[in-house]
Amino acid sequence: MSHAVSRLRDQRLARSIKPFTARGARAPRCPGCRVIFSYCLCAWRPTVPARSAICLLMYDVEPLKPSNTGWLIADVISDTTAFAWSRTEVDEGLLQLLEQGHWQPYIVFPGEFVEPRRVVTKVAVQDGKRPLFILLDATWNEARKMFRKSPYLERFPVLSLEPEQLSRYKLRRSKRDDHFCTAEVAALCLELADDQPAAQALDAYLDVFSSHYLGAKFQLPIDEQDEVHTRLKAFL
């Protein structure tokens, strides 16, 4: 299956001077889910309609990392676009997307680091527009740099999430429990936009992905009858 993140990955690989090797890579990975073949989860990819759209701005090698969860967003949300971020250049396709009048863009970023006048905590679209959530897919330090050095985003409101839950993501954990992985952020945005089925499907898909990824890493058996797989079955 080809989607925006997989195409961006191909483009990034084509620019690489030397082959990219994922940390701890030992066996060939499925090109559809990036997990080794014996733990493949392609059969668990959900299909759920959503009114909202996701725009991923991805930092350098982020599309190449098997643990990247932007890929999961593109699996679930059909209106997902992905662009490589650069301090000196802006993808013309991104600028064209932001000019399309049927979208209401929101930059998703913690409000404590933003001028208060730009910060919103609710999704409110008018005139028939659809929410377009712009996610900075990077480490926290990289995301702060991206936010500061992307002047073309300064005219859009900043959606500051105030979730009550702590991050459950176990593959590339931040030192802070209140830092969420990209798929968790997307699911929270979808929930705020009343795209509840899509939010729930993405949340369940992230849990199944984590289960298979960690199972492959530690050679653990996968129980497809457990709670996380059962939750995802409703969206298959």
**175 inside domain:** yes
User: Could you list the pLDDT tens digit for every one of the 236 residues in the chain?
Assistant: 689 999 999 999 888 766 555 555 567 899 999 999 999 999 999 989 999 999 999 999 999 999 999 999 999 999 999 999 999 999 999 999 999 999 999 999 999 999 999 999 999 988 899 999 999 999 999 999 999 999 999 999 999 998 776 677 777 555 555 578 999 999 999 999 999 999 999 999 999 999 999 999 999 999 999 999 999 999 99
Residue 148: how many other CB atoms lie within 10 Å: 10
104 is a domain residue: yes
Length of the chain: 236
Is 110 domain-assigned? yes
Give a yes or no: residue 152 inside a domain.
yes
Domain count, the chain: 1
Asked whether residue 22 is assigned to any structural domain, the reply reads no
- Residue 127 tokens read as 């005139």
In 3D, which of 119, 115, 127, 135 has the Cα closest to residue 190? Answer: 135
- pLDDT, residue 179, reads 72
* Domain annotation covers residue 21: no
96 within domain boundaries: yes
In a domain, 9, yes or no: yes
Give tens-digit pLDDT for 34-68. 999 999 999 999 989 999 999 999 999 999 999 99
Residue 164 has a pLDDT of: 74
Which residue is it, tokens 């910060």?
Answer: 119
DSSP state of 176: S
Q: Which domain covers residue 64, as residue numbers? A: 4-16+28-219+226-233
